[in-house]
Amino acid sequence: MRPFILSETNWKAVKDQKFELAVLPWGATEAHNFHLPYSTDNIMAEKVAAESAQKAWDKGLKVIVLPLIPFGVNTGQLDIKLDINLNPSTQYAILNDIADILSRHGINKFLILNGHGGNDFKQMIRELGSKYPDMFICTCNWYQSFETSDYFENGGGHADEMETSIMQYISPEFVRPLKEAGIGAGKNFRIKGLNEKWAWAERKWSKVTADTGIGDPGKSTPEKGEKCFKEVIRKVGDLMINLCETGINDMYE
Ligand SMILES: [Zn+2]
């Protein structure tokens, strides 16, 4: 039983405990090429949340990790079998209900730990901030806490070398042999500004990739995954520590 994981702890331990920071890991349920499980984003976000919170807890800081939300925004994958879409407006409603409970119980710092590229909580946090002015709400995409090229030869972003290597390290029992994986070839837009990323449109996933992957997983190894994952825990752990240690009225220097 880890006292900083709400789904594992109990009322006896929680009722008189003052918590400084609540962390909500948020993933997605979606196809990840032929070799990774639908819950890839969930498994990784939950593990990053738990191991980072452990670092803060070990320093005596009171962080509590809430149960992960397993469905994300998959509006670009509605035709891919059993990708489960949660609309952004539904996500806002969920966040609003959770923020309400946290504020009732005096937990005024709230970190949404995101593990899925289709989720974007920034605008929701702006709106929630105006509803809960006494709370400090922030979000972090754990997969942006490091430079991909420092650890991996091939990028991509979905069921790619990074995701595959980390899954080979943290959950090898759910990873199929690499020879079963597709090559993760992703098509670009015909429109220059969209490829240069200063213009944006949602990609229709089934038109962009044949195997649902974007990024070649062929050079993945658990050793690469371990190196990268440990850096992620160092970075996200420090983020949680800094959030716990910094007063809500003392955020700027
Ligand atoms: Zn993923």
Beta 136-141 vs 63-65: how paired, if at all? unpaired
Alpha-carbon dihedral 159, 160, 166, 170, rounded to 10 degrees: 30
- How deeply is 150 buried, as exposed, middle or buried, from its count of CB atoms within 10 A (0-12, 13-18, 19+)? exposed
> Which residue is listed with tokens 């700027």?
252
- Ligand 1 mean position to 164 CA, how many Å? 9
28-51 average pLDDT score: 98
- % of the chain residues with pLDDT over 90: 100
pLDDT of residue 66: 98
Summarised one tens digit per residue, pLDDT across range 224-237 is 999 999 999 999 99
Contacts of 190 (CB under 8 A, 6+ apart): none
- Ligand 1 mean position to 133 CA, how many Å? 33
Task: Specify whether the CB–CB gap between 64 and 85 falls below 8 A.
Answer: no
Summarised one tens digit per residue, pLDDT across range 101-121 is 999 999 999 999 999 999 999
pLDDT of residue 86: 98
Task: Specify whether the CB–CB gap between 10 and 129 falls below 8 A.
Answer: no
- Ligand 1 mean position to 41 CA, how many Å? 5
- How deeply is 123 buried, as exposed, middle or buried, from its count of CB atoms within 10 A (0-12, 13-18, 19+)? exposed
Confidence of residue 57 (pLDDT cuts 50, 70, 90): very high
- Ligand 1 mean position to 218 CA, how many Å? 16
- Ligand 1 mean position to 32 CA, how many Å? 7
Strands, E assignment, the chain: 21-26, 63-65, 109-114, 136-141
> Which residue is listed with tokens 């220097």?
253
Between the alpha carbon of residue 44 and those of residues 68, 89, 233, 249, the distances in Å are 11, 24, 11, 32
DSSP conformation class of 75: G
- Ligand 1 mean position to 115 CA, how many Å? 7
pLDDT of residue 198: 97
- Ligand 1 mean position to 242 CA, how many Å? 27
pLDDT of residue 97: 98
| String of DSSP letters for 147-182 | -GGGT-S---SBSSHHHHHHHHHH-GGG---GGGS-
**Residue 206 Cα to chain centre, angstroms:** 23
Mean per-residue pLDDT of the chain: 97
pTM > 0.85: yes
Confidence of residue 24 (pLDDT cuts 50, 70, 90): very high
pLDDT of residue 9: 98
